[in-house]
Chains A and B, each alone.
Chain A
Amino acid sequence: MTITFHIREIVTELDLGLDHLPLKRALEELGLSSQAYLAVRSGELLTEGDILHTGDVVQLIPVISGGSQ
């Protein structure tokens, strides 16, 4: 059973054999920093303590931008 993550045009599925897990753990499993992405489920912004469930679709919005000063 999987949780699906969309990062722009990239789709990643996470299956740890769990029914649910906190967003923080999911990001760690994906090797992503919680500082570098906003997580959105059904239009709602998630905090790292929010629980993700099997079948959830989560959009990860990259927040890091670069440029000269």
Chain B
Amino acid sequence: MSYIRCQVCGQRASIRMRQHRLNYCKDHFLEWMLKHTDSTIQKYRMFGRNTRVLVAISGGKDSLALWDILWRLGYHADGFYIDLGIDEGLDYSSQSRQFAEQFATSRNLALTVIDFKKEYGESIPTLAARTQRGKGKPCSICGMVKRHLMNQAAEQGGYSVVATGHNLDDEAAVLFSNMLGWNQTQLARQAPALSGRDGMAGKVKPLFRCYERETAAYAFLQRIAYIETECPFSAGSTSISYKHLLNQMEDRSPGTKMRFVMNYLKAKEDGFFHIENTNGQDEGLHPCPVCGQATSNPDMCVFCRTIGGTPPDKAYR
């Protein structure tokens, strides 16, 4: 019978990673994912063994795979889930929350859940509909809210770093978008690890060297239950169309996506972009007078301006 063999044990391979010229069976692939992720954490000095890490959980494959990997590697990683109130007839938030809670319970891990609608009185779709920033574009509001709440949770919980499940395909799509527009500010910010400062937790992406296909394979082989349906607002998004384009190139020339991202990081390090060394963080920041988070806005941060002030029971500091 013809099949590709695992290069470690010779058994039937479950995955072929042409960009690495690696073929592994289930067990050796799962082992490789742990080693590969740990190597990324060490190489980019994301965090140490004793660091308290807050993992941003969406209920999708990437964030749950990341949490599972960090747990198996023995890191102190707690989860943080935001119920955004996105249902749109699909119960999207309710279902993704269930997957996040089931995962945490099954591994006896700590998960903090914030119900945005309960805390702030309206769901993300409602907030987006009534604000200029979110009109016809709820993803912008959603991203801003998630960044703010993750940062707040990290500050309040004493976590020095927030880890997200962004994979190499995510990074490639964002890089592609930023390069199409030659967006220098965003190009400067794109990095696998951003160090923290007062009012802003560090942010790391331990899966950024893994293809999306690999995180999905990890979740499948590890039998991690996750929400497979996409957020109803992501349909037709440019990031997804860029991923399809990049995959066409990858099919023709394996390793294209990896070279695109890794060579960009090397070029940036070599000074190719003539970007001032701000470690990816914006300069000229000051604390928001309402919530205390770092902001470059002259007055309140964009989150506090958008929600119209902080609810009275929210003691940020």
- Give the B-binding residues of A (Cβ under 8 A): 8, 33-36, 38, 40, 44-45, 47-51, 61-69
Report how far A40 CA is from B26 CA in the complex, Å: 13
Number of interface residues of B (CB under 8 A): 44
Q: Is the CB–CB distance between B61 and A65 below 8 Å?
A: yes
Q: Which of B217, B230, B243 contacts A38 (CB 8 A)?
A: B217
Known: A36-B247, A51-B3, A67-B143. 16 other contacts (CB 8 A): A8-B229, A33-B248, A33-B250, A35-B212, A35-B251, A38-B213, A45-B14, A47-B4, A61-B216, A66-B231, A66-B234, A66-B243, A67-B170, A67-B237, A68-B139, A68-B143
* Shortest beta-carbon distance from A26 to chain B in Å: 14
Q: Is the interface of B mostly helix, strand, loop or mixed?
A: helix
Q: Is B142 an interface residue when CB atoms closer than 8 A count as contact? A: yes
Report how far A64 CA is from B16 CA in the complex, Å: 18
Which chain B residue shows the least CB distance to A44?
A: B14
Q: Is the CB–CB distance between B62 and A69 below 8 Å?
A: no
Q: Is the CB–CB distance between A61 and B13 below 8 Å?
A: no
15 contacts between A and B (CB under 8 A): A33-B250, A33-B251, A35-B211, A36-B244, A47-B3, A47-B14, A47-B23, A50-B4, A51-B1, A61-B228, A64-B240, A64-B243, A66-B237, A67-B231, A69-B170
